[in-house]
């Protein structure tokens, strides 16, 4: 299947939709998930057009992986998390919903389960405060 320029992450990259940025380079962007499964849930995406891990160029995937590590370390430190869950899904059968490759970086805390994916959006002020905390840890 081909890349769809109308996906939500493509719109964020073009500035057509807002996001709460936590990290950015010339090749990647990381921002708060508006439907978080846990406190501090961040999405990390490449700026290139790639549907998923099956079609991204290896050097772009390497840059994306580096950013996931940077964001993971910063997020874990910012929230004093006990660990991290990193998820990446490919195609509908694999659980992919937005067809622009992305990684979920979710801070985890002992004894706290992930929230179910209900589609419920977090309040913008909560996301903004969390993003600020993570950006400060990344600085």
Confidence class for position 120, pLDDT limits 50, 70, 90: confident
Tokens in use for 65?
């992986």
Q: Could you tell me if residue 128 is inside a domain?
A: yes
Domain containing 39 equals 8-138
Render pLDDT for 74-107 as a digit per residue (tens, 0 to 9): 999 999 999 999 999 999 999 999 999 999 999 9
CATH at 81: 3.30.428.10
Per the structure, how many domains does the chain have? Answer: 1
Confidence class for position 118, pLDDT limits 50, 70, 90: confident
Q: Could you tell me if residue 113 is inside a domain?
A: yes
Give the pLDDT of residue 70: 98
Q: Could you tell me if residue 1 is inside a domain?
A: no
Q: Could you tell me if residue 2 is inside a domain?
A: no
Report field, pTM of the whole predicted structure over 0.85: yes
Residue from 20, 41, 100, 102 carrying the catalytic annotation: 102
Q: Could you tell me if residue 129 is inside a domain?
A: yes
How far apart CA 46 and CA 84 sit, in angstroms, is 20
83-90, long-range: CB within 8 Å, 24+ apart, which pairs?
A: 83/107, 83/108, 84/108, 85/38, 85/114, 88/53, 89/52, 90/52, 90/53, 90/54
Q: Could you tell me if residue 3 is inside a domain?
A: no
Q: Could you tell me if residue 102 is inside a domain?
A: yes
Q: Could you tell me if residue 19 is inside a domain?
A: yes
Q: For the purposes of burial, counting CB atoms within 10 Å of the CB of 120, is it exposed (0-12), middle (13-18) or buried (19 or more)?
A: exposed
**Taking residues 35-46, what's their average pLDDT?**
97
What does 83-139 look like in DSSP terms, one character per residue? EEEEE---TGGGT--SSS--EEEEEE-TT-PPPP---PPPPHHHHHHHHHHHHHHH-
> Which among 18, 67, 25 is positioned nearest to 43, based on CA atoms?
67
| More reliable by pLDDT, 117 or 24 | 24
Catalytic: 102?
Answer: yes
Is pLDDT at 27 greater than 90 in this prediction? yes
Tokens in use for 119?
């589609």
Confidence class for position 1, pLDDT limits 50, 70, 90: confident
- Bridge partners of 139, per DSSP, are none
């Amino acid at each position: 299947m081909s890349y769809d320029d109308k996906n939500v992450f493509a719109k964020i990259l073009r500035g057509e939709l807002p996001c709460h940025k936590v990290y950015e380079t010339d090749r990647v962007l990381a921002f708060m998930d508006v439907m978080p499964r846990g406190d501090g849930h961040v999405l990390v995406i490449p700026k290139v057009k790639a549907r998923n891990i099956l079609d991204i160029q290896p050097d772009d995937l390497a840059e994306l992986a580096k950013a996931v590590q940077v964001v993971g370390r910063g997020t874990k430190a910012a929230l004093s998390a006990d660990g991290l869950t990193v998820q990446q899904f490919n195609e509908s059968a694999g659980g992919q919903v937005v067809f622009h490759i992305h990684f979920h970086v979710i801070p985890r805390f002992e004894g706290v389960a992930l929230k179910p994916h209900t589609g419920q959006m977090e309040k913008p002020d909560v996301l903004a405060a969390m993003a600020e905390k993570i950006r400060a840890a990344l600085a």
